[in-house]
Chain A
Amino acid sequence: MRIQRNPQLNANGELIHLLSTEGLSKDVLTNILDTATNFVSVSDREVKKVPLLRGKSVFNLFFENSTRTRTTFDIAATRLSADVINLDIARSSASKGESLLDTIDNLSAMAADIFVVRHNESGAPYLIAQHVAPHVHVVNAGDGRHAHPTQALLDMYTIRHFKGDFSNLSVAIVGDVLHSRVARSNIHALTTLGCPDVRVVGPKTLVPGDMAQMGARVCNDLREGISGVDVVIALRLQNERMSGALLPSAQEFFKSYGLTPERMQWAKPDAIVMHPGPINRGVEIASAVADGPQAVILSQVTFGIAVRMAVMSIVASHDA
């Protein structure tokens, strides 16, 4: 087997692409969070812009639709004074049969500096990162089931903000873990940052047993899964899961795994509730919890902009 260098890092160990939270050291992750702290205050200024990426072009390449994530990247890049170009690939060249790499080549010829990519196939951003010129940086906005590193980083930022140190925390991730890139990226980030108790919770059809090898404790019972935890991260349940014999219905999922005020009592009294959004009320989470005092979902959104600003500034500042 050939040992390959982590494509996210240059020869000096500096971040040039953000593809996954896996394989990044505690220092690299912490540096991103610390840098993000500086950017949180930018939204409070009268002039909500800093010139760090002035003259740079950020191309948002979303092969999978997502207005929310794309908008936050758009805002983040704009606040860094970058020029932002949004490409709705579904309606353009890819649907005419242009290959992924041809699309990238054409866009690179238009002087792109950063590609923010969301794709439905796991691994697509790696292919892109291996293919682009040295001065171009790739930020993964979600690839298939594999990774969503900026979401994990903003989740870590949120947890650090409300809970401080990771080394004493218990975190539960509840829901469709099997198909979740958010879950995978969170597990890697939490374990790297020193969280000693990461649990994945859901029915066996949605929580594979071998997730234990990623360092998470597998629980099929919600009570066992969230007893005494400091943080509950609820994942979105997609409708497609009902076909494919993974789940009988959304109602049954809510019955066994939905977060209600009564069930939240199993967690610590000061536990926080997070969700990557958009929420399915009455499926993963009851409205009372989503709108309640423990939910920090809106903070996640705010922090998401600062974290993405941090990620883009950091990768842009390092040479390949």
Chain B
Amino acid sequence: MNTPLKARPASELNAESLYQELLQQMRVIVAKADSPVRLVGIASGGVWLAHRLQADLGLEGSAGVVSSSMHRDDFSTRGLSSMSVQTQLPFEINGANVWLIDDVLYTGRTIRAVLNELFDYGRPAAVKLAVLVDRGQRELPVEANLAIARSDLPATQLLELSRTEDGQLTFGIEATPE
């Protein structure tokens, strides 16, 4: 785990520069790893990140994608969420060294659902988590192994990652829907 980061104001959350820092740190991790690192992007914010990292790190094969929709805990209140992205793990999950990649870590519920989903497929050797932004306010005992920045946004605001037409990543702030 890193030493505690100082929270950055929202205006300083530049997705592209945060990504570059993430890439740098992941290079070190990949170099030191004693078994192949398997990147798995968490749908939907982590998917672009995982694919880009896979390419930029020159890893073999493709990054996996994991969806939390089958294991969400809010089914009875929110119903079936958009199920447009499905879990795809293009590698042997049993014994794998998995790094989950996501844009924002918040309450931790998505991570819990994603872990359940992964374990439906098999038994990885280890699962670690890397995120661009940790905005605190955890509701479950979950932490990222690697968080590039911290943010103290209030609960009334959502931090969303999006991609411009030319593939550039940016963070946007929106009001939390009712």
In the complex, A touching B (Cβ < 8 A): yes
Query: A41 contacts B86, CB within 8 Å?
Result: yes
B71 within 8 A of A: yes
- Chain B, 48-86, contact with A by CB distance < 8 Å: what is the 0/1 string? 000000000000000000000111000110011001101
B91 within 8 A of A: no
With A46-B120, A47-B119, A47-B120 as contacts: A52 and B83 at CB distance below 8 Å: no
From the candidates B70, B79, B83, B122, name the one contacting A34 in the complex (CB within 8 A). B83
CB closest residue in chain A, given B80: A317
Query: B71 contacts A46, CB within 8 Å?
Result: no
Taking the nearest CB of chain B, how far is it from the CB of A209, in angstroms?
42
CB closest residue in chain B, given A314: B80
With A38-B69, A50-B71 as contacts: A45 and B83 at CB distance below 8 Å: no
A179 within 8 A of B: no
Residues of B close to A37: CB separation below 8 A: 83, 86
Within A44-64, the residues touching B (CB, 8 Å) are 45-47, 49-52
Within A295-320, the residues touching B (CB, 8 Å) are 313-314, 317-318
From the candidates A46, A50, A317, A318, name the one contacting B122 in the complex (CB within 8 A). A46
Query: B87 contacts A313, CB within 8 Å?
Result: no
Taking the nearest CB of chain A, how far is it from the CB of B132, in angstroms?
27
A35 within 8 A of B: yes
Query: A318 contacts B79, CB within 8 Å?
Result: yes
Query: A38 contacts B121, CB within 8 Å?
Result: no
Residues of A close to B87: CB separation below 8 A: 41
From the candidates B79, B84, B120, name the one contacting A317 in the complex (CB within 8 A). B79
Residues of A close to B122: CB separation below 8 A: 46
Query: B79 contacts A50, CB within 8 Å?
Result: no
Taking the nearest CB of chain A, how far is it from the CB of B122, in angstroms?
5
Query: B70 contacts A52, CB within 8 Å?
Result: yes
Separation of A317 and B83 alpha carbons in the complex (Å):
14
Residues of A close to B121: CB separation below 8 A: 45-47
With A38-B69, A49-B120 as contacts: A317 and B86 at CB distance below 8 Å: no
Separation of A46 and B75 alpha carbons in the complex (Å):
23
Query: A35 contacts B70, CB within 8 Å?
Result: no
CB closest residue in chain A, given B94: A46
Across chains A and B, the number of contacting residue pairs, with CB separation under 8 Å, is: 39
Taking the nearest CB of chain B, how far is it from the CB of A220, in angstroms?
44
* Majority SS at the chain A contact face: helix
Residues of B close to A41: CB separation below 8 A: 86-87
* Majority SS at the chain B contact face: helix
Separation of A47 and B118 alpha carbons in the complex (Å):
10
Query: A50 contacts B80, CB within 8 Å?
Result: no
Query: A51 contacts B86, CB within 8 Å?
Result: no
Taking the nearest CB of chain A, how far is it from the CB of B66, in angstroms?
12
Residues of B close to A47: CB separation below 8 A: 119-121
Residues of A close to B119: CB separation below 8 A: 47
Within A1-59, the residues touching B (CB, 8 Å) are 34-35, 37-38, 41-42, 45-47, 49-52
Separation of A200 and B86 alpha carbons in the complex (Å):
37
Residues of B close to A46: CB separation below 8 A: 120-122
CB closest residue in chain B, given A36: B83
- Chain B, 83-117, contact with A by CB distance < 8 Å: what is the 0/1 string? 11011000000000000000000000000000010
Query: B83 contacts A50, CB within 8 Å?
Result: no
Separation of A300 and B10 alpha carbons in the complex (Å):
52
Query: A50 contacts B86, CB within 8 Å?
Result: no
Query: A35 contacts B80, CB within 8 Å?
Result: yes
Separation of A50 and B116 alpha carbons in the complex (Å):
9
CB closest residue in chain A, given B93: A46
Within B123-155, the residues touching A (CB, 8 Å) are none
A-B contact pairs, 28 of them (CB 8 A): A34-B83, A34-B84, A35-B80, A35-B83, A37-B83, A38-B69, A38-B70, A38-B83, A41-B87, A42-B70, A45-B120, A45-B121, A46-B120, A47-B119, A47-B120, A47-B121, A50-B70, A50-B71, A51-B70, A51-B71, A52-B75, A52-B80, A314-B79, A317-B75, A317-B76, A317-B79, A317-B80, A318-B79
Give the A-binding residues of B (Cβ under 8 A).
Answer: 69-71, 75-76, 79-80, 83-84, 86-87, 116, 119-122
Pick the 8 closest A-B CB pairs, nearest first: A317-B79, A50-B70, A47-B120, A38-B83, A45-B120, A317-B80, A45-B121, A46-B122
Given contacts A314-B79, A317-B79, 13 further A-B contacts (CB under 8 A): A34-B84, A38-B70, A38-B83, A38-B86, A50-B70, A50-B71, A51-B70, A52-B70, A52-B75, A52-B80, A314-B80, A317-B76, A317-B80
